[in-house]
């Protein structure tokens, strides 16, 4: 079975920014509003943030715009990390941004000292790319360990626990004159849904179809809140947000 990182390498990375609407800086402004609205901001010089599963960097740019002095973008796609660097240069925040090619499940001890990170985000449905619910638990434990007291974690993800039927399983993601992306969901079991991406691209008047499939986790918002509490985090916000995502915000309590 193709894993999510393999699917990005083979198919999605080259089209991901197009999929977001092509204007990464507009998406970054929207994400900065969301993060600021949750009360996440640097409070001291040198405050560092980490963006797990950065993709082309909408949240990395947002965190840099919000004033975090270092933002570490972690992703397994080198193509997307290269995009982050280019977008950070265009946005004038290259000095604050560094990229690390790593698996988000074990990256934290390598990119930050324990108990020091001011903010950690994993947004845009990256969380559902993990292989099993136990991995989400491992990630939350790692986040709780890496955050400083009072530090923030923000997660945004699609709650895919409710099963869709018939035509409702097809999603037109984006269409422009020469490109069209449609997504189809196939329910496997209580924990997993297979996502089938159908990408039509027109070149020299001919349409070509590429198909790629990968598993996504079906995470319930209440389950995530319970697991965050188990990891010692204080949940401040868990509700529906923009782009059909659930927005989850927690802090590491001051002891």
Ligand X SMILES: C[S@@+](CC[C@H](N)C(=O)[O-])C[C@H]1O[C@@H](n2cnc3c(N)ncnc32)[C@H](O)[C@@H]1O
How many CB atoms neighbour CB 255 within 10 A?
5
Task: For ligand X, give the closer residue by CB, 14 or 94.
Answer: 14
User: Is 73 within 8 Å of 57 (Cβ atoms)?
Assistant: yes
Cβ nearer to ligand X, comparing 24 with 118: 24
Tokens of 132: 């099993």
β-partners of residue 52 are 74
Task: Assess 158 for contact with ligand X (CB under 6 A).
Answer: no
If the CB atoms of residues 34 and 147 are measured against ligand X, the closer one turns out to be 34
Nearer to ligand X, 124 or 215 (CB): 124
Of residues 70 and 126, the one with the C-beta less far from ligand X: 126
Q: Is 83 in the site for ligand X (CB under 6 A)?
A: no
Bridge-based pairing state of the strands 147-157 and 117-122: parallel
Kindly state the tokens that stand for 99. Answer: 């990229």
- Tokens of residue 21, six digits: 């609407």
Which of 34, 35, 40, 53 touches ligand X (CB under 6 A)?
53
In the sheet that holds 170-176, the strands lie side by side as 170-176, 179-187, 192-203, 206-217
- Among 33-41, 87-95, 98-106, 111-119, the segment contacting ligand X (CB under 6 A): 98-106
Q: Looking up tokens 């590491």, which residue turns up?
A: 252
Selected binder of ligand X within 70, 72, 75, 155 (CB under 6 A): 75
Single out the segment in contact with ligand X by CB under 6 A; choices: 34-42, 74-82, 197-205, 229-237: 74-82
Contact 248, 154 (CB under 8 A): yes
Q: Is residue 47 involved in binding ligand X (CB under 6 A)?
A: no
Closest CB 254 distance from ligand X, rounded Å: 28
The answer to the question of residue 99 lying near ligand X (CB under 6 A) is no
From the CB of residue 252, how many other CB atoms can be counted at a distance below 10 Å?
23
Phi-psi region of 29 (alpha: psi -120 to 50; beta: other; left: phi over 0): alpha
Burial (CB count within 10 angstroms: exposed 0-12, middle 13-18, buried 19+), residue 44: exposed
Nearer to ligand X, 96 or 104 (CB): 104
Asked whether position 125 contacts ligand X by CB under 6 A, the answer is yes
* Cβ neighbours around 231 below 10 Å, total: 19
Nearer of residues 179 and 232 to ligand X, judged by Cβ: 179
Q: How far is the CB of 242 from ligand X (least distance, A)?
A: 11
Contact between 59 and ligand X (CB under 6 A)? yes
181 binds ligand X (CB under 6 A): no
Binding site for ligand X (CB under 6 A): 4-5, 8, 20, 53-55, 58-59, 75-77, 80, 103-105, 123-126, 129
């Amino acid at each position: 079975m193709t894993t999510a990182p393999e699917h990005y390498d083979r198919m999605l990375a080259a089209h991901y920014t197009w999929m977001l609407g092509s204007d990464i800086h507009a998406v970054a402004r929207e994400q900065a509003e969301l993060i600021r609205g949750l009360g996440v901001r640097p409070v001291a010089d040198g405050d560092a943030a980490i963006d797990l599963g950065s993709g082309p960097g909408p949240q990395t740019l947002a965190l840099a715009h919000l004033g975090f002095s270092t933002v570490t973008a972690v992703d397994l796609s080198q193509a997307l990390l290269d995009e982050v660097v280019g977008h950070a240069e265009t946005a004038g925040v290259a000095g604050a941004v560094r990229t690390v090619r790593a698996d988000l499940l074990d990256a934290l001890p390598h990119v930050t000292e324990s108990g020091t990170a001011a903010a950690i985000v994993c947004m845009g449905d990256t969380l559902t790319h993990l292989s099993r619910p136990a991995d989400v638990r491992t990630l939350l434990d790692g986040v709780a360990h890496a955050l400083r007291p009072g530090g923030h974690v923000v997660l945004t993800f699609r709650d895919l626990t409710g099963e869709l039927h018939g035509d409702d399983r097809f999603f037109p993601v984006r269409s422009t004159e020469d490109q069209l992306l449609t997504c189809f969901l196939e329910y496997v079991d209580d924990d997993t849904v297979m996502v089938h991406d159908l990408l039509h691209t027109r070149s020299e008047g001919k349409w070509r179809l590429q198909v790629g499939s990968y598993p996504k986790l079906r995470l319930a918002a209440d389950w995530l809140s319970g697991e965050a509490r188990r990891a010692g985090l204080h949940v401040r916000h868990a509700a529906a947000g923009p782009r059909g995502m659930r927005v989850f915000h927690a802090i590491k309590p001051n002891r």
